[in-house]
Amino acid sequence: MKPSKITYRPIGLALGVASGLIAGAAFKQAWKVIGHDDAPDPTDEKRTWKEVLVSAALQGAIFAAVRAAVDRAGATGVRRLTGTWPD
């Protein structure tokens, strides 16, 4: 039995939420390692353009990598359970 998009959708949504939480925590840790307490708010006039853009780029890269890893792990898990790759 091949899992349909409708069958996999709830799993994909749950994985999306989980990846967002994981990515948020990973970004906070990475930003602390860089040596800053809080990521800059783009509208904070006390922060430089460089700080704001580096923060946004790092956050985006971490989010994309975590999302890809979690999605891939979810698809692999579905294949192990059902024997087919979800579409």
- Helix pair 5-34, 49-82: axis angle to 10 deg: 140
pLDDT over 70, % of the chain: 94
Q: Can you tell me the distance from the alpha carbon of 25 to that of 80, in angstroms, rounded to the nearest whole number? A: 28
For 56-77, write each residue's pLDDT tens digit: 999 999 999 999 999 999 889 8
pLDDT tier, 79 (very low <50, low <70, confident <90, very high otherwise): confident
Q: Taking residues 21-27, what's their average pLDDT?
A: 95
Listed in sequence order, the residues at least 6 apart from 63 whose beta carbon sits closer than 8 Å to its beta carbon are 19, 20, 23, 27
Average pLDDT for the chain: 88
